[in-house]
Structure 1
Amino acid sequence: MSRVNKNPHAGKTGPTREFIKLVNDMARQRRHSDIIRDFAECAYLAIAQRVPFTAPERAAQMEERFVEIVKRGGGEPYRDQLSRLLAMTVDGLEEGGDFFGAMVADLGALNEGFGQYFTPFEVSRLMAEINLPDDEMRRLVEANGFVTGCEPAAGSGGMIIAFSEVMKSRGFSPATHLWFTAVDIDPFCFHLCYVQLALLDICADVYLGDSIANRFQEVASTPAKLRFLATHGSKVSDYVRQSRIEPTAPVATAPARVPAPQLDLFGGAP
């Protein structure tokens, strides 16, 4: 793991500062990296388990894993703290940009063995502007109804967030006009990316795996994909067929299920 910034509050304001402050308070008996990784995984489990695309067997495994993490962290007080971190994440994302971005480096949660370094969001935004000119975006939306993208080393999802912000600035909805595939080999990044894209209402299939070797252990679709499929219907299947894509994530709506209350990080049982 990377080293914890000795003064991670420096220069931070609003939800970011409050998030780091709470993690610091929680880290009196545990490492910062363990706490932020617990949070990322629990937030992922709490959101992904509620999405109808998640198979019942996988949902049951998610519930068991969630309970295991909370119990290991100290039970209900730990769950309450994780819930507060999630609320701060929502507030932080409303301010724009990649909320987790540089913050996870300050908290010592990056994996130096993977050579992890998250691209500054300003750079991601510039790259999005350059790679998706306004006229090209409008041509793609007119032709297909949406724009697709693939991020093979997604990290916390900063590049995808930048693309979605560019789309919104041009009058399009990331939930209905953008369909992204995101991949990362690190479970921590997989969780971070999924949480941010899900909370930002971005349609995405997020994969845990190796994009070079084309080997994947897990895939989770964000809640926005339900609206994306409802909006475009058969256009999605037509696009997949014409593009010769071999989807491993679902392209049709699955039956709804009742979520398990143990997995609630949203302030009460569903």
Structure 2
Amino acid sequence: MTDWRERMESGSETLRQQAVRVPLPDVEAERSVHENMMRIAAAGERKSELLDDPDVPLTEVYEDELDEMRQSFEHRLQQVAGEDYYEVATAYLDGERDDWIGALAAYYLECYYRLQERYTVDEQIFFLLVLRYPECFTVNLSFLTGDISAAGVRYESSKHVEADLNERNAEQLYADCQYSQYDASEYLRENVSCIRDAFPDPETTPFAQRRRGGFVHITGRQGATFTEILEPVSPDPNRFDDTASEPGLVSEGPEARRAKRKFLTDTTVVI
């Protein structure tokens, strides 16, 4: 990982403010995306259930979510570049290859490593924007520092509070944290439907009703306070004027810039 970080720090801005664009040439490709989005929605429901369980510490909920995301990225890396995805990604950053496989391997591997660090780097914000267009979809992943300023849900973990409390105050803190986690559970349960709405089943949904959709998911932690936003996003109808023949990196679109302005303040983009 040290070798990779040195490459990123001394390398290019190749991955900064970029998104992955993947063509959707047929119903089979749409079905694959739909199934993947349903897995993401199911993970959101699982997180909601864990948050609602008073016997499950928030640290365990957080670890479960990060593990799910890491597995997803590792699976994607192997799909794109095979078992040697590290060598493929580093060759791309070293300028030894310039194909879309190398670009996507570098993009996903950097995101994978950033996720490895999230449990210890608490000021980092994770920003995910997935958008469906008639002929393709895009995935924009960003890691930023700054503040989440807009509405969503905030909840607290008594395990992360650094304070010397007496028994009465400790019990009150625990109760307050549990109440905030119940609120977060309800928020996720109500909002996870926006993922399903954005990527409905292509076998049962007319094309006119599934040609555009999207959602944004933002998570962050400052000390003991966790913040989460999950909302639908409408794709810009004028985003693309061409048809993608293969996956690749594109600049993040106006939808991502608007979402960052709406939900975040004083941010610095890490990737």
More strand by share: 2
TM-score range, shorter-chain basis?
under 0.3
Using structure 2 for the length normalisation, give the TM-score: 0.26
Q: Radius of gyration: which is bigger?
A: 2
Q: TM-score of the superposition, structure 1-length normalised?
A: 0.26
